[in-house]
Amino acid sequence: MPLENSLPFPTDVKFLYIPIDIRDTEAINPLKCEQPLTLRVDSLISKLAHSYRHDTNLLIVSVPGAWTPMCGEHHIPPFLLNLEKLKHLHVGAIVIIGTNDPFVMSGWGKTLVKEYVESGTDIFAMPRLFFANDVGFSKEHGLTVEVGGFLRNKRYAMLIDCKDRRIKYFGVETERKIDKSGLDAVLARL
């Protein structure tokens, strides 16, 4: 099934992640390793669809790689700095995916959260946040590219309305920019 605006989001999508507790960002240890868990996107969509707070949008943001300058300095930080705004606009969860393994995505995610999310922020005022291994989702949908012998995800953002599972916005970068997958492009669709 192609990924396009207005089409349903595929079923049976799974990512691998390690939970990041954002309640006390000062206590986060990026070097602490834990066992990855499976994020079943169908289950997440179902939970968000029935949210009593009307946080019915799921945002998936894909990065070419953890610990890369464009991703870690320009692409993801604006999302983290605006978690409360995104929640106010009914984003119930944000899943940041890359081809890096879940341990690398977790360490990178913890580092970014420590840097850009204010400690003590009310977690109910923010969307759920996941940094996850893609598990082949992007490759399956033609959203990868080989760079220097490594398979990388293309940079993209996808906004899903969980009530009807339809893709509200799907923006894929075609140049080395952040104008289709960045925070401003997403906010314009909310």
**Catalytically active residues, by annotation:** 71
Q: Please state, in angstroms and rounded to a whole number, the distance separating the CA atoms of residues 152 and 138.
A: 9
Which residues are CB-contacts of 189 (< 8 A; sequence separation ≥ 6)?
159, 168, 169
Q: Please state, in angstroms and rounded to a whole number, the distance separating the CA atoms of residues 173 and 135.
A: 21
Q: Please state, in angstroms and rounded to a whole number, the distance separating the CA atoms of residues 16 and 187.
A: 26
Residues 93-117, buried b or exposed e (16+ Cβ, 10 A)?
A: bbbbbbbbebebbbbbbbbbbbebb
Two tokens, residue 73: 């300095």
Residues 148-176, buried b or exposed e (16+ Cβ, 10 A)?
A: eeeebbbbbbbbbbbeebebbbbbebeee
